[in-house]
Chain A
Amino acid sequence: MVRSKAPSKKQQKKGIDFKKIKRKLGRKLPPPKNATNTEIKSKAIVLPEQSVATNKEGLAVSKKGLTLKELLQQSSHHNAKVRRDALMGIKDLVINHPAELRQHRYAVIEKLRERISDDDKVVREALYQLFKSEIFPGCAEDNQGLFISLLMTYIFNAMTNLAIDIRLMAFKFFDLVVQYYPPCFSLYAEKILQSYEDILRKNQFYLEDKGKLKTTLSGLVRCLSLLPSKKPESEKSISGDRIIHAFEPDTPTANTGFSTIIKKLKELVLVLINCFQDFIPLLNSMPQLDVLSFDCILSMLQSIDIAVRFFIYGIHEETPESICDQTLSSALSKKLLGVFPLYPKHHLSVKEDDRYFILNVVIAAIFLHLRELVCPSANVFEKFLEFIENALLGTICSSTRSGKATWEKHIPLLLPFIPKLASEVQTGWQSRILESFTWTFKDCNPESSLKLACLSMIEEMLIPRGYMHYTKASDTVVLDYQTVWIRELPLLLNLLGDKQPSSSQVVLCLLLRLGQFSGSNPFLFGEYENIQFALSEFYSTCQEGNLYYGPFMRLPRDCQELSICCLYYFSNLNVLLLKSLTFCCLCSELEPFVSFRIIEVLHAAYKAGHIQIVDHISFFMTLLSRFKILPESICPVRESDVKVSNHGTFKSLTAMLCSYLSQMGDSSVVFHIVEKAILGLILLQPPLENACAMLRVLIVLDSKPTLLSEQSIIALSNFLPGYLMDVVHCIPEDDVQTWRYYILPCFFMFDRSSKLLKLVLDVIGSFLTDSNLSLPSDTSTRYATDSLSRINATISLLLLIYKDVKVRKIISSFRTEIGSILQSIASLQSSEVKMTLEERHRFQSSVLEKHFPLVRMVGNQPRGRSSFVGNIEKKYRFS
């Protein structure tokens, strides 16, 4: 404004310089004699507050230096410009001083509400902006009921104003109020619907100003969507900390009194239908369906849709039949459903196709809601079925990207009716509908919401809710499609990967429900069993020796939990799936908690008879023997390794498996199954940890005297010496806890079978003969390979044995074996074969300090000192 004025002023000035001003000359008529003197003379008015000197310091002022009070006064000024300026000033003031608004909000509202029905368009617009941007957000957290009631009277007043613009603006205001305070609709529902009805009846205006109609209608859609409906029942939140028996105040339900508005709503629907009907010829005359008219029609249809839904599913006393009486149903079927489908007269653009598609979808949805009440003729019904089929197949929509997007967005509107339709129409249509539905399910983007909608429909069709009368299983058409859907699920799971955990969760939930339900239906039972093959890929796959982990490993915990639960319901878990689960459990990246959970659930499944005992035990054995310990060697457990080390995990895994195995039933039977497997594995020389775990399993299941067979005792006697020496070699002597953990199983075995002990001692003795020592590559030990360390290890081992009271008692009956071992150590000492000086020195210093106390201990046996002990002692004394 200011800029455009400036040049014109300049021109004027130019003119003033040169232009001669013409003055009209001549006489004037004298004033009439009886004229009244209208001149008012007054002396100066003194307004102390308004003088420049007014002290406004400390008060919140706008840019123009006015306080809130002054601005509010000005807002009712007779000049529109001043009013607008005042509103702008208030906005400005509120932005800078938010506290001011909070303090005086009621005063502000009381003053400003008068402006809702302001004559001037600009003022109204400014007021709307002020409310929208400042006042509502600023007062959001307050008690809004009072606040709103202050406004509503003026809004209603404006709604009945004569000027159409003011009325439209009032609807806009109301829309704003509803946005910030939804309950206000239920408070004034009847009055509001009446107002909408009135304005929509004035059909001369909407054909002219579609933009305003559009805003009004969108407001209506918003209001109607607040109508209560039975359908959504997903209100389930557990308050965590609450005390269970605590007193709970009754919260008043917001949706009381909706029953009364049904009549009004019915009238409104009739008006909307008329409105829609008026639009139809317009559409035909227009060359093209423009955005505005499309939006208007869409809003109308949506409003009708919501109203119809409220009639049928809403919470009120009246039955749907009594609401949809003759007038309503005939109007609906003639004027709305009669014109279906809408199609473009002049085919121009693909966009237009999509628009018509959307409108048709909404009409079809309305029809499907009303189907039972209206009782359409077969002809009409056929028409709709055809449309639904085509819509699902995607043939109506354009194939462009935007067309596809529209399709994905609007098809879910039709999906909820599919289960009912499929169960009610004749066989020919049934297969066509199901076919097209299956096509939709397969074709849509796995991450889209359409997929989720399809999944929920599939759940409804597979698992009947409520009372369990299952549709006759002989229905082959349905069964075929059910098979397709079920087989698609694991593939979908793999396709989703870990990109969208929420979708994966939905699929897994469906699988779980299917598993729970499958017990009662032989067909589903078989299909669910078959899923296993495809599902194993979800966990891990092994191809040509390479291991590929599936999405299971990367999904969040709750999805993992769900997928583990699914395993329980396979009535016969096959080996392939079990194998892929084993790989997952063995993977070091998987959290220990999850792998424990897998084992736990699989054991529960075994208990329920869903896994063969052989498979189950071999699963356990594989875990024990193949579990990779990190870091590799047990010996130096440094502080820094504690974090990466998974020793603790493996220990608890061993304990868990031991307790499961002991719970499996008659332990002697289980022992015989396990014995063979373990001995086979042990002879492969597994790492110490795994060997220890397997020995532990054996002793848990064994009893005294031992159940081990002759053969296995011999096999063990070849294995144990090496194992024992390795343990002693690797674990520092002061780490009592650790070596007890590794050696205790052996002690138990010795306790149960003295024969084993004898054999073991023999083998240890034979290690120390010259010929064996010289053999550098002996495979019976992994760590203690050189002769020096082997001698060392033997001595420490014997020391350990003698420290343990119980084993010492057992070993006392094997004096000859011990004696020969000591003898050979002593003789080694003297023989000095192939040793450099340095080696010899080391040997002396390390062996001697240990050997001597050992000999002492052996010598202190109750039977007195035997001659060779004396000999050995002598030898040391002299050397």
Chain B
Amino acid sequence: MGFSKDQLLNRLQELEIDYTKYEHPPVLTVEAQAKYVSSSEGALSKNLFFKDKKHRYYIVSAMVDTKVDMKVLSQRLGLGKGGIRMAPEEALTQLLQVSLECVTPFAVVNESARDVSLLLDQNFKNQKRCIFHPLSNEVSVSLNTSGLDKFLKSIERDPVYVDLEANPAVGKDQPPDLAVYVPSNSVVIPEISNETSTKQTPPPKSVSAEVKPVASAKPSKPATKGKSVVVEKSTPLAFKNPEKFVEEIMDKTSALLLSEAKVENVEALAETLRKRLTSELTHLAIMYKNTAYTEGFHAGKHSQPKRL
């Protein structure tokens, strides 16, 4: 189970971090919180929980009046313009183990949140103290950023402070400045994600309805025809699954065969097929080989030594 508020506060005490605790009725918003904890005690924070299209998660903790532009943030992370959105509630409860109204930097203390990236507002550093929920919305604590840093370092996290209002240009020559804070691992939340974890395992007897469009939706066109190309969205299973691999080859070959059917001489037809398809099919085969090797490599890395 997740860390409880008391466990967290005990940890802060063990680390000799100076904080002040305020108990109050459960609050759902910053405005409500402000009624019980006055700004003289410290700067209130707004805490946002985002996810990107590749199932990677981010906590952004900012001063209440810092403007957080999701489009800009998304670009600075190297995710394009619409790359991040608010994370769904299930993610919150599963990864951060807190309820909707108390997203907080402290949530990264949970093992389940180890792949969540935490970005803190640079402006916090100018404040004497800042206010966060200690994993419960019935309590607020105010502490100095050095206390927060000490806590983060104790759980082997590097505190990351970012100028959230900055809007640097992101282009081909100016790499996104926050891209380095994108988590290296994506997280699967059951019921939400429809197919992909980082290690993709195709079901051996795959649901053809789902997979067929991948293999055959793209009409293999010989170079002379001007058909439009269908863009593939999912990772081609043709590179992993022998049946799909063969299906892809048959699709390409028969498409070419049908389009060249007007050629009367069978030998010439065979020659054309060979000429047109060899390079493409070889490429397909190489990707298949590389995929198989990679799976073997993974197995080798993770195999356990023989028990004696």
Q: Do A and B come from one complex?
A: no
- Taking beta carbons and an 8 Å cutoff, which residues of B are in contact with A? none
- Taking beta carbons and an 8 Å cutoff, which residues of A are in contact with B? none
